[in-house]
């Protein structure tokens, strides 16, 4: 028996209503068991700190135990895979960070995941990358530094990063392109070794996260000459941005930490988690504590959609940059 158009549309409407009811029911019953936040790095690092800062509030808001589990290894891929393969019910989350979803799937041969395997939930912290030079460097602006790199020729000057394949490396290569790619990359094992190398004059410049850069710049041991974002951060109100200094092609990346869930997690569950996390990080006490650690808590528009836009911006620039320099870590 064939259906009339009116009957067909009626069935579609009923199906949509039933689906909406099922999604609403899922959100109303969530959570039904303890929640786990998986961290891709060891305990004590910045990603771990971000997870543990929201853990008490999330536990109180949801009425279920919330645990933080560290699963380091393979550049973060072990943790990301564990979450991607978990049931998409909102009970297993990951505290991820800038570049994890946009860079890792490109620079590892078999990362086991892509950005499409996750749904962004909410951001927890943001802070700009800072371009720094040694305190005795003759370069006081980014254009002066780039002009020197061009003049020195290939391999004439070096820059340092906090590790091959990380955001500081890929963002540095975007800057290096303005010096005809003349700067040579020297990778270090983290922000602290890079800071020491900069103070010793081993490299001409490097990108540091705010947490690594702020104290050492304030002490006069390094000089900050630019921040990698379109608008000035409240953490660095006097420091010109790179776009202000003429670098306008995609050099706009904050260091962020945020919560993501498996891709097929029901939208009402994602929205509920997002609302709870956004409320936690927007609290004044949370923001003050985070600022002392070198971060800014998002206090508005901290939604899954806004977070997804940030990831999309990375996906439009960073994978192409990694491929352009032939970056492969395994």
22-62 tens-digit pLDDT: 555 556 789 999 999 999 999 998 999 999 999 999 999 99
Look at residue 155 and tell me if it is in a domain: yes
Tens-place pLDDT, residues 213-246: 999 999 999 999 999 999 999 999 999 999 999 9
Single out the residue in 222, 245, 268 at which a domain terminates: 245
* Residues 55 and 98 reside in one and the same domain: yes
* Residues 179 and 272 reside in one and the same domain: no
Look at residue 165 and tell me if it is in a domain: yes
Look at residue 197 and tell me if it is in a domain: yes
* Residues 51 and 142 reside in one and the same domain: no
Q: What does residue 235 show for φ and ψ, rounded to 5 degrees?
A: -75, -25
CB < 8 Å & 24+ apart, contacts of 191-200: 191/162, 193/162, 194/160, 194/161, 194/162, 194/168, 195/222, 197/160, 198/132, 198/133, 198/134, 198/160, 198/222, 199/134, 199/135
* Residues 133 and 184 reside in one and the same domain: yes
**Residue written as token pair 């971060």:** 295
* Residues 34 and 103 reside in one and the same domain: yes
Look at residue 150 and tell me if it is in a domain: yes
Bridge partners, 223 (sequence order): 133
Please give the Cα distance from 46 to 192 (Å, whole number).
13
- The number of folded domains in the chain is 2
What is the structure's pLDDT at 281?
98
CATH of the domain at 231: 3.40.190.10
Look at residue 91 and tell me if it is in a domain: yes
Look at residue 19 and tell me if it is in a domain: no
Please give the Cα distance from 101 to 116 (Å, whole number).
9
**Residue written as token pair 């097929």:** 264
**Please, are residues 130 and 226 in contact by the beta-carbon 8 Å criterion?**
yes
Structural domain boundaries, residue 153 = 128-245
pLDDT of 13 above 70: no
Look at residue 2 and tell me if it is in a domain: no
Report the candidate in 210, 191, 219 with the shortest Cα–Cα distance to residue 255: 210
CATH of the domain at 38: 3.40.190.150
Which residue would you say has higher pLDDT here, 330 or 132? 132
Q: What does residue 198 show for φ and ψ, rounded to 5 degrees?
A: -65, -45
Over residues 87-104, mean pLDDT: 96
* Residues 132 and 121 reside in one and the same domain: no
pLDDT of 9 above 70: no
Residues 6+ apart with CB under 8 A from 204: 133, 134, 137, 139, 145, 148, 149, 157, 158, 159, 183
* Residues 104 and 147 reside in one and the same domain: no
* Residues 134 and 240 reside in one and the same domain: yes
Single out the residue in 245, 268, 296 at which a domain terminates: 245
* Residues 71 and 158 reside in one and the same domain: no
Tens-place pLDDT, residues 97-145: 999 999 999 999 999 999 999 999 999 999 999 999 999 999 999 999 9
* Residues 268 and 122 reside in one and the same domain: yes
Q: In sequence order, what DSSP letters do the residues of 51-77 get, joined into one string?
A: HHHHHHHHHHHHTS-EEEEE---GGGH
Single out the residue in 245, 266, 300 at which a domain terminates: 245
Report the candidate in 326, 256, 238, 252 with the shortest Cα–Cα distance to residue 296: 256
pLDDT category of residue 330 using cuts at 50, 70 and 90: confident
**Please, are residues 248 and 142 in contact by the beta-carbon 8 Å criterion?**
no
pLDDT of 8 above 50: no
Q: What does residue 136 show for φ and ψ, rounded to 5 degrees?
A: -95, 15
* Residues 84 and 150 reside in one and the same domain: no
Q: Where are the alpha helices (DSSP H) in the chain?
A: 5-29, 46-62, 77-84, 104-107, 142-152, 167-176, 191-199, 210-218, 267-282, 284-292, 304-324
- How many angstroms separate the Cα of 15 from the Cα of each of 73, 225, 241, 270? 44, 58, 51, 22
What is the structure's pLDDT at 1?
44
Report the candidate in 50, 44, 39, 71 with the shortest Cα–Cα distance to residue 255: 50
What is the structure's pLDDT at 248?
83
Tens-place pLDDT, residues 260-315: 999 999 999 999 999 999 999 999 999 999 999 999 999 999 999 999 999 999 99
Look at residue 183 and tell me if it is in a domain: yes
Query: Kind of pairing, strands 254-262 and 184-187?
Result: unpaired
What is the structure's pLDDT at 252?
84
Report the candidate in 142, 166, 158, 199 with the shortest Cα–Cα distance to residue 318: 166
* Residues 227 and 139 reside in one and the same domain: yes
């Amino acid at each position: 028996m064939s259906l009339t158009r009116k009957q067909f549309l009626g069935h579609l409407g009923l199906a949509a209503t039933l689906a909406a009811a099922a999604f609403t029911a899922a959100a109303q019953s969530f959570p039904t068991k303890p929640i786990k936040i998986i961290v891709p790095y060891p305990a004590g690092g910045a990603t771990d700190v971000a997870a543990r800062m929201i853990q008490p509030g999330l536990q109180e808001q949801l009425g279920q135990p919330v645990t933080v589990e560290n699963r380091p290894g393979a550049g973060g891929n072990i943790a990301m895979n564990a979450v991607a393969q978990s049931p998409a019910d909102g009970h297993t989350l990951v505290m991820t960070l800038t570049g994890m979803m946009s860079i890792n799937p490109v620079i590892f041969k078999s990362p086991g995941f892509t950005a499409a395997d996750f749904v962004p939930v909410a951001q927890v912290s943001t802070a700009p990358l800072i371009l720094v030079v040694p305190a005795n460097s003759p370069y006081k602006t980014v254009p002066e530094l780039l002009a020197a790199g061009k003049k020195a020729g290939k391999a004439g000057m070096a820059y340092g990063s906090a590790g091959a394949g990380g955001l500081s490396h890929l963002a540095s290569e975007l800057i290096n392109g303005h010096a005809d790619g003349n700067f040579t990359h020297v990778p270090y094992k983290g922000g602290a070794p890079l800071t020491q190398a900069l103070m010793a004059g081993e490299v001409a410049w490097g990108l540091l996260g705010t947490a690594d850069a702020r104290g050492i710049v304030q002490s006069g041991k390094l000089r900050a000459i630019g921040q990698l974002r379109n608008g000035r951060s409240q953490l660095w109100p006097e420091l010109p941005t790179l776009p202000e200094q003429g670098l306008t092609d995609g050099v706009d990346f904050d260091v962020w930490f945020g919560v993501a869930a498996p891709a097929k997690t029901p939208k009402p569950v994602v929205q509920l988690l997002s609302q709870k996390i956004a409320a936690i990080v927007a609290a004044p006490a949370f923001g003050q504590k985070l600022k002392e650690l070198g971060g800014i808590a998002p206090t508005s528009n901290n939604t899954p959609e806004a977070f997804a836009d940030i990831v999309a911006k990375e996906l439009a620039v960073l994978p192409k940059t990694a491929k352009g320099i032939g970056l492969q870590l395994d």
